Structure 1
Amino acid sequence: MKRGTTRSAWLRGIIAGMLALQLAIGTWAGSVWAADASVNPQPADPAAAAPTRAQLDEALGALQASLANANPVSDWVALGLARSGKSVADRYLPQAAKSAGDGSLRLVTDYARLALAVNANGGDARKVGPNGLDLLGKIANFDKMTAQGPNAPAFALLALDAGNYPAPGSKDRWTKDALIQWLVDNRTADGGWSLVPGKSDVDITGIVLTALAPYYDKNAAVKAAVDSALGWLSGVQKPNGGFGSPESSESSVQVLLALTSLGIDPVQDARFLKNGKSALTRLMEFRQPNGQFAHLPGGKGDGLASLYALLGLTAVERWMDGLPGLYAGQPAGQQVQVTVTGPNGKLAEAAVNGRSGMELFVETVKRNHVPYEVVRDPQYGAYLTSVSSFKNGQFGGYDGWQYAVKRGGQWLAITQGLSAFVPQAGDQVFIYYGGTTALIHSIKVEPAAAREGQPIQVTIEKEVYDWDSGKADVSPAEEARVSLGGVSAVTDKEGKATLRDVPKGKHTLVVDGYRTGGAPAYVAVEQPYTVASYVKQVSVRVEGDQRTIAEGTARGGTALEALEAMLKAKQIGYEVKETSFGKYVSSIGGIQAGKFGGYDGWLFAVKDGGQCMVPAEGIGTFLLDDGQELVVYYGDNTKLAEPAAVTPQQPKPGQPVTVKVTYRDMNWETGKLQDPKPLAGVKVSAGGAAATTDADGNAKLSALPEGVHTVSITGYTDGKAPLVVRTVSKLTVAASYNDQNAVSVWAADSVRTARAAGILNGPADSLTAFQPKEAITRAEFVAALVRAIGLKPAAGSTFGDVSPKAWYAKEIEAAAKAGLVSGVAPGKFAPDAKLTREQAAQLLTKALKLTAATSTALVDGQQVSRGAMPAVQAVLDSGWMTAYEGKFAPKQSMTREQAAVVTVKVLLKPGIGKLGA
């Protein structure tokens, strides 16, 4: 259907073809464009004032909402939505990739259109589609560049500029300079440009002016050509502010694109005001009640005209915001992190692209739906006046919106406005409400990687730029608030703050200077910080002034956590108090600190590998390690005994035993223990025998029977705290087998302990010979495991091949009833079968409920049965069995001395073995 004159319809068809729109009038129907007289109705007065920012926002919002539903998304729709802050890159870029590879690109304007849209949506126009098509390279080497008149050179120049195409040199057919020169040389006689010879055309002149805009101040010939064309445009503007012959909304749009690209006020520049009306005012008069825009005056809503309106209104809003022109482009892949903070908190943040600081800001607040106001000053340019509800000067001084940039870890000295600032990839841009607000120079966190329950000290430095010296003054940041994981503290005069009880997890460490009734003292900054989960398995003893109150195993990160866990499990009352120095235990089991009227109270020590230490920090902060023993004791000047020295080291039944008790004082200045000293006057008992240490710390015990005895050292006294913390250790008294010399050195102690504890004797429980190198039977190993764990023997006949009269019968039955064994077949145990190492691993894993946290590579891993591999990995990971030179030897029989080592480990393991308490 024809619209207007034949010439104008032809021109519009050319431009529409260039745009390659996939829009049709029908796509604008439905609820999105339902007529509503309340939607920005036309002003009755033709001399109405220029549209307000709110009216522009509303008009743009309606256009965005409808165009966003287009499917597929055309190149120009994608460009318009992206530049207006409503990117559809997730839908558009895959389409663009397809277009780049399907052979549909023929004209230079096809390549330019695609390049502009890809760039606006964050893509790289140098590498598009499955084959990485270089659109800009294609444009720069296009042979028939001028076949479309000024259109192709103009859009080629726009695309090359948007994509920041480098100065290519002589190898390219069309450099930017060549395109500029061609456009300057091919004007019409009246100063503008046209597709056909004759008079200049508004639309084509607008397109060329938009392309030449970046070079206005750089090239004298361009300046002269642009000034001439602007004069012509001003002269052909209609009395109602519109453009075109016949007049159309699209012509007004092209003028608005040109003016805003050149930095000319599209609303108030006197050259483009007719009877008080601008091109923008006239464009808005084409808007229909349903939000569409008409092509011709008095016409109906039109899809192409509405798309043009999106581009034009977007260009005007970008100009109002101090942003580059519509086609200015974005640096491909140049993400900049932007944070916007108000007087009392963060307002918006995003990783965005942009060619100016103001563009980064606008993109960030739009993504976060935060309102803002920008004013363009004729002298100072665009600047922020309001973000969210916070306006400049709201605290009555020179406070207002400012910005700072961190590049390469250093703050830049800011000497230009936000609109003039050119960002670089990796920059961190902070837009903040401030007054004499300082920047955070450094944040030092100790420890660098904290564990749960560990105090965290943060040291902050600030910096203030001294314009006289040209340097930043760095000093401690006093009264900065530090927050981490819900815990906050304020820095002291040295810029230090201590955070306690920060929960485990990945947190954000925030440093800010927000304050009531004034601008922040510091620009808020953030950095990630992780507090690791820290829970350990330890043994715990609580020693009172006259007896042991409790002992057992517990889990906890700090000494206090482990203590509380055990006391709660045993339902023993306690009390913990907190002072400025930290937490301390004031009562356990009804025994209050200060019971004897002095400095007596609840203290703690930690044993690790037999070595006892008194930590130089409180019980609430001391971090434990797996396998340690925590001793909480009531004391005053109470000593901590060293591991007792026994003579002879391997006593036999009937031999007298001497136990030497020593202790070490702590040198708190050096942080080291002093040399051992004898501890006199304390009681030593074992196996029913007892003695008191002499001046040399020696206690002589009468002959002890065979067994694994507990040696107890105590120093209880009436009316005061104990002389020594109760200390216990194991002492093995055992006779020798007649083949003792055949036992390997690494197994000797375990064989003696196994005999003394009665868990694994010689074959058939013989006390004469041990036969260490012989293979252990299934019955012997299971019986030893049952005894080591401490299961009570049981009567019964689960397995038909286990005689009730056999020495191992009750142990096998106990294991069956406890679910530790299930036999080799229904009702069959095979007690006399030799036990392989992988079978031993399976029995241990089931009995001790083991799992593997890590996997060990084995040289002979292929030999391990598939069903046994999880058990083999479990016993290796937990240390119950070992591989020799990377070999586990799964099919070899376990020897009796190997079995002694394993079962004694079980016997003495806290929380598992019979003697592990």
Structure 2
Amino acid sequence: MNGEALSSVRGKLKVWLRSGLALALALQLVLGAWAGVVQAADSAGSTAADNGKSEAAAPTREQVGKAVTDLQAILGKADPVSDWVAFGLARSGISAAGRYLPQANKSADDGSLRLVTDFARVALAVNANGGDARKVGTGGKVDLLSKIVNFEKIAAQGANAPAYALIALDAAGYVPGTTDRWTRDDLVKWLVDHRNTDGGWSLAAGKSDVDITAIVLTALAPYKDRKEVTGIIDEALVWLSGVQLETAGFGKPTESSESSVQVLIALTSLGLDPIKDSRFVKNGKSTLARLLEYRQSDGQFSHLASGKADGIATFYALLGLTAVERWMDGLPGLYSGVATASKTSVTVNGLSGVITTGSATGKTALEALINVLNSANIAYGVDRHPQFGALLKSIAGVDNGKFGGYDGWQYAVKRDGAWVTITEGMGSFVLKAGDELTVYYGGGDTTLVHSVKIEPSAPREGQPVTVTVEKESFDWDSGKAVVSAAEGASVTVDGQVAKTDKDGKAQLKSLKVGAYVLSVDGYRTDAAPAYVAWKTKLDVASYSKKVTVRVEGDAGVVASGSAQGGTALEALEQLLKASEVKNEIKDSAYGKYIGSIAGIAAGKYGGYDGWMFAVVRGGAWIIPAEGVGTFLLEDGDEVVVYYSGDATKLADPISVSPAQPKPGQDVTVTVTNRLWDWKNNQFEAAKPVAGVKVSMGEVEAVTNDKGQATLKGSPEGLYQLQVTGYVKDGAPALVRSVSTLQIAGSYSDQSAISAWALDSVTTSRAATILRGSGDGLSVFKPKQGVSRAEFVSALARALGLKGSASSAFADIPSNAWYAKDVGAAVSAGLVGGVSAGKFAPDAALTREQAAILLTRALKLKATATTVVADAKQVSPSAAASVQAVLQQGWMTAYESKFAPKASLSREQAAVIAVRVFAASK
């Protein structure tokens, strides 16, 4: 290269680095341009005759590839497959693991491996085919690498054994043990110390041998930069060049193709050009060109130049040509080994989309990429820079410089969730387990996507999605990554496309339930992409919760009841639709809001009055910091939508004293409110609410300045306790609050009721669901078995069924206390008689019979199996019902037993009846 050209390239490189362009781009593109300048200079200084001779001595990548493909087809049929054939096939891209690894295990078990070269050869083949050389044989008990490093007489085979030992250890990434007999340093030193005076090596001291010298050079290649190794490699290459024949081949006394193979493996392992290195070109012909002259018409190779096809020469040719092919592709040497720990995920992005994805092993980024491209049959091109090594030139027909600038193929690596700072080319970047490699076509302004945030993080059906994209660039002056908003990126999901704004945000409309791929890219028609494409999974779930909704207007309740929905707005709209209440929901820049309900419009009183909402969850208020259209509900929530003014308050849970009043006993109600502190995001201390009305049935009172009101005693029953703060010609002072208060007396055998059933028995008495024996109020008899009439009557009352006494059963008097309840249950199809005209009202009810009645009444079905220890005792006709009531919590097992044939006690019946009553409200 002339001085002017070199100065120009260096100047451009300096400008690019200062402008923040990744060094990977500089290496990939600038040095690619540099290579072009070198080639131009070389061409200018050569004669036409020299050029013709050079072309004749330079087999192309296509020629080498075709020869390798033919050899794969020939040797791939071998059965059994030998160690070296299995190794060669695997390193050329065709795994023989299925056939070879069982064979290797057998060799390790039967004792046929005795020499160091045996262990090394099998270790290389096992590693190349994805196995573990440290775990071979039955149960993985044979450690081939340990056999090598602890082989006492490792030098008994001459230089051959230490060389192959070193090659095998390096290929498998052997981690030294503290008690190893031989270390890598020991092996390197032995080889250095035992070379011949002529500069080469042989099996025995004396005259050097081409094959052995080449094998040792291959073994020493990873150590070529060591001070004690560099010089002897240079001297060995001089000797090797000196013994090369005029035919460009090797071998004494007779030239053979195998010797040329060993030299090619050595040269490529050392990173030397097997085609153009002048030391190994004779009469305009390279060693590679000479090896191809041994190729027969059927693709096999001969041992001698004038000989016939030979099996050994053929598999040796596969090794040599694979080594050259890997060198041409910028890959590590033939014996560089396979990273067996894990595969690297690879994504290749083109000018308008993903070209291919896959996973592959590879010690370098370039090796993993090429393995994936080869698997997908995608064409690629690699140039080798004389100083900086392999540079990716093209993929799928797209060459560097397509847009006339310094645009071209680049790469990025994500490790542990973050982009790695790249300071070298793909051909030398060493991958680690778990790395994610992205290869992309980029230009000077192409930027990596740092992060993509989806809000909400778990979107549900019908919910808008906000995507925030950040980009990442590298500041070479500070040496730090710079993260900022990615403006102008395209965000795509399910056909929707949105561009990010200056804050890196893009808004997507709501999506239906399903699994999607969300992509971010910066593809352009007239330039390299602005952003490296990025993809992630996006799952949109169905989201609907069972809640209650209460709509409180400015003068009374508008609607209330059960509803389902994912957001507060969805639940509200469902209730209003079911209640046929007109409403208006409006859109704004801040989301949806309630304009009017039942003709009550926001701003009715001329101020900032309007519709608000809050949620009761777990007995406590939630004051949402978001709109009614986005607030997500949970099962059991109570959504309170209320008309509010500036001073409208939400009441705390109402305090009643005594907590469980007796019939005729006065009740004191305390009403308080806690204001929400928006600054500190918490409730303030509770304060009394004065001047609001408290009512219970016909009894009412107004709270004093302590927030208290006393209500006169009422008869036994279940009451609705209501607090209101309606204001004439204005928004309410307090949102209506409603709770249930039960007033009930005691049974004479109250102390016999189990603690777990006491509240239910009291509620059942107050609500007139299941009362004392004979429907009286004196004695409850909690442990007594409930009768059929009592349980059916309790179910009918809990469900609110009404009817008249049935004349279908002769054993039910029309004036019996349970007659109308049984009649209502029969009319609803919940129960029938035990035989024609007979109901058996006084018969004790078993637990499995109760389960059957419950499943009929509530239309229950089991969706899973609950295991109980006494499942075999359950009648077949009751099995499904027992499973349903257990799974859904209507009845419970005790110590893993359901006791299906046991009588259902009256206190157990009360608990079940109250559960039904609560669910039916």
Normalised by the length of structure 2, the TM-score is 0.75
Seen in structure 2, the aligned counterparts of structure 1 residues 253 and 454 have a Cα distance that, compared at 3 Å, is: same
Residue 562 of structure 1 aligns with an amino acid whose one-letter code is A
**Native 8 Å contact 1:241 1:273 kept in 2:** no
CA distance in structure 2 between the aligned counterparts of 1:88 and 1:578, rounded to whole angstroms: 64
Q: CA deviation at 1:771?
A: 3.6
- Higher mean C-alpha deviation, range 261-270 or range 746-755: 746-755
2:593 is aligned with 1:584: yes
**Native 8 Å contact 2:469 2:485 kept in 1:** yes
Aligned to 1:139: 148
CA distance in structure 1 between the aligned counterparts of 2:279 and 2:310, rounded to whole angstroms: 29
CA distance in structure 1 between the aligned counterparts of 2:371 and 2:239, rounded to whole angstroms: 34
**Native 8 Å contact 2:163 2:216 kept in 1:** yes
CA deviation vs aligned residue, 1:244-263 (integer Å, no higher than 9, x gap): 87665544433322221222
CA distance in structure 2 between the aligned counterparts of 1:538 and 1:181, rounded to whole angstroms: 81
Q: CA deviation at 1:104?
A: 3.7
Give the unaligned 5+ runs of structure 2. 1-52
Q: CA deviation at 1:382?
A: 1.6
CA distance in structure 2 between the aligned counterparts of 1:244 and 1:809, rounded to whole angstroms: 117
**Native 8 Å contact 1:339 1:349 kept in 2:** yes
Aligned to 1:120: 128
**Native 8 Å contact 1:125 1:136 kept in 2:** yes
**Native 8 Å contact 1:453 1:558 kept in 2:** no
**Native 8 Å contact 1:212 1:222 kept in 2:** no
1:620 alignment partner, one of 629, 634, 653: 629
CA deviation vs aligned residue, 1:71-90 (integer Å, no higher than 9, x gap): 55443333223322333445
1:607 alignment partner, one of 604, 616, 635: 616
Task: State the secondary structure of the residue aligned to 1:310.
Answer: helix
2:483 is aligned with 1:472: no
CA distance in structure 2 between the aligned counterparts of 1:523 and 1:75, rounded to whole angstroms: 43
2:809 is aligned with 1:784: no
Q: CA deviation at 1:115?
A: 0.7
CA distance in structure 2 between the aligned counterparts of 1:853 and 1:803, rounded to whole angstroms: 41
2:276 alignment partner, one of 268, 273, 277: 268
CA distance in structure 1 between the aligned counterparts of 2:61 and 2:96, rounded to whole angstroms: 24
CA deviation vs aligned residue, 1:831-870 (integer Å, no higher than 9, x gap): 5454566765665466445678999999xx6799567999
2:285 alignment partner, one of 272, 277, 281: 277
1:56 alignment partner, one of 61, 64, 77: 64
Q: CA deviation at 1:137?
A: 2.4
CA distance in structure 2 between the aligned counterparts of 1:145 and 1:822, rounded to whole angstroms: 93
CA distance in structure 2 between the aligned counterparts of 1:571 and 1:113, rounded to whole angstroms: 84
Residue 126 of structure 2 aligns with an amino acid whose one-letter code is V
CA distance in structure 2 between the aligned counterparts of 1:248 and 1:783, rounded to whole angstroms: 104
Seen in structure 2, the aligned counterparts of structure 1 residues 462 and 173 have a Cα distance that, compared at 3 Å, is: closer
Aligned to 1:99: 107
Residue 60 of structure 1 aligns with an amino acid whose one-letter code is V
Task: State the secondary structure of the residue aligned to 2:285.
Answer: coil
Aligned to 1:417: 425
Seen in structure 2, the aligned counterparts of structure 1 residues 736 and 127 have a Cα distance that, compared at 3 Å, is: closer
Residue 328 of structure 1 aligns with an amino acid whose one-letter code is S
Aligned to 2:567: 558
Q: CA deviation at 1:274?
A: 3.5
Q: CA deviation at 1:349?
A: 5.0
CA deviation vs aligned residue, 1:475-531 (integer Å, no higher than 9, x gap): 544438596976887777677778885878888887766666555566666778888
CA deviation vs aligned residue, 1:773-820 (integer Å, no higher than 9, x gap): 544334312321232123455877999987888654665576577675
1:254 alignment partner, one of 251, 257, 262: 262
Q: CA deviation at 1:326?
A: 0.6
**Native 8 Å contact 1:288 1:301 kept in 2:** yes
Seen in structure 2, the aligned counterparts of structure 1 residues 702 and 181 have a Cα distance that, compared at 3 Å, is: closer
Residue 620 of structure 1 aligns with an amino acid whose one-letter code is G
Aligned to 2:768: 758
Aligned to 1:172: 181
CA RMSD of aligned residues (A): 5.4
Identity of aligned residues (%): 55
CA deviation vs aligned residue, 1:130-176 (integer Å, no higher than 9, x gap): 24211122234446756766654443332233123456788536966
Residue 127 of structure 2 aligns with an amino acid whose one-letter code is N
CA distance in structure 2 between the aligned counterparts of 1:713 and 1:167, rounded to whole angstroms: 81
Seen in structure 2, the aligned counterparts of structure 1 residues 254 and 817 have a Cα distance that, compared at 3 Å, is: farther
CA deviation vs aligned residue, 1:687-709 (integer Å, no higher than 9, x gap): 5x487968879999999776545
Aligned to 1:8: none
Residue 782 of structure 1 aligns with an amino acid whose one-letter code is V
Aligned to 2:683: 672
**Native 8 Å contact 1:151 1:208 kept in 2:** yes
CA distance in structure 2 between the aligned counterparts of 1:281 and 1:823, rounded to whole angstroms: 101
CA deviation vs aligned residue, 1:191-219 (integer Å, no higher than 9, x gap): 76677999876555544443343344436
CA deviation vs aligned residue, 1:378-404 (integer Å, no higher than 9, x gap): 122222233345543445444444445
Seen in structure 2, the aligned counterparts of structure 1 residues 880 and 673 have a Cα distance that, compared at 3 Å, is: farther
Residue 112 of structure 1 aligns with an amino acid whose one-letter code is A
Aligned to 1:160: 169
CA distance in structure 2 between the aligned counterparts of 1:655 and 1:208, rounded to whole angstroms: 105
Residue 754 of structure 1 aligns with an amino acid whose one-letter code is S
Aligned to 1:80: 88
1:323 alignment partner, one of 315, 331, 340: 331
CA distance in structure 2 between the aligned counterparts of 1:784 and 1:802, rounded to whole angstroms: 16
CA distance in structure 2 between the aligned counterparts of 1:589 and 1:766, rounded to whole angstroms: 45
Task: State the secondary structure of the residue aligned to 1:625.
Answer: coil
CA deviation vs aligned residue, 1:87-111 (integer Å, no higher than 9, x gap): 3445543443343224343444332
- Higher mean C-alpha deviation, range 488-497 or range 203-212: 488-497
Seen in structure 2, the aligned counterparts of structure 1 residues 816 and 50 have a Cα distance that, compared at 3 Å, is: farther
2:913 alignment partner, one of 903, 906, 916: 903
Task: State the secondary structure of the residue aligned to 1:417.
Answer: coil
Q: CA deviation at 1:626?
A: 1.8
CA distance in structure 2 between the aligned counterparts of 1:168 and 1:762, rounded to whole angstroms: 83
- Higher mean C-alpha deviation, range 507-516 or range 723-732: 507-516
Give the unaligned 5+ runs of structure 1. 1-44
Task: State the secondary structure of the residue aligned to 1:562.
Answer: helix
Q: CA deviation at 1:282?
A: 4.0
Residue 900 of structure 1 aligns with an amino acid whose one-letter code is A
**Native 8 Å contact 2:176 2:183 kept in 1:** no
Q: CA deviation at 1:330?
A: 2.6
Seen in structure 2, the aligned counterparts of structure 1 residues 633 and 768 have a Cα distance that, compared at 3 Å, is: same
Aligned to 1:630: 639
**Native 8 Å contact 2:491 2:500 kept in 1:** no
CA distance in structure 2 between the aligned counterparts of 1:724 and 1:288, rounded to whole angstroms: 99
1:373 alignment partner, one of 381, 384, 402: 381
**Native 8 Å contact 1:641 1:727 kept in 2:** yes
Residue 788 of structure 1 aligns with an amino acid whose one-letter code is A
**Native 8 Å contact 1:47 1:275 kept in 2:** no
CA distance in structure 2 between the aligned counterparts of 1:184 and 1:649, rounded to whole angstroms: 98
Q: CA deviation at 1:57?
A: 3.5
CA distance in structure 2 between the aligned counterparts of 1:563 and 1:792, rounded to whole angstroms: 30
Residue 561 of structure 1 aligns with an amino acid whose one-letter code is E
Task: State the secondary structure of the residue aligned to 1:630.
Answer: strand
CA distance in structure 2 between the aligned counterparts of 1:71 and 1:791, rounded to whole angstroms: 82
Residue 128 of structure 2 aligns with an amino acid whose one-letter code is A
CA distance in structure 2 between the aligned counterparts of 1:434 and 1:92, rounded to whole angstroms: 46
CA distance in structure 2 between the aligned counterparts of 1:132 and 1:62, rounded to whole angstroms: 37
CA distance in structure 1 between the aligned counterparts of 2:247 and 2:793, rounded to whole angstroms: 110
Q: CA deviation at 1:655?
A: 8.7
Seen in structure 2, the aligned counterparts of structure 1 residues 734 and 525 have a Cα distance that, compared at 3 Å, is: same
Residue 637 of structure 2 aligns with an amino acid whose one-letter code is Q
CA distance in structure 2 between the aligned counterparts of 1:793 and 1:569, rounded to whole angstroms: 27
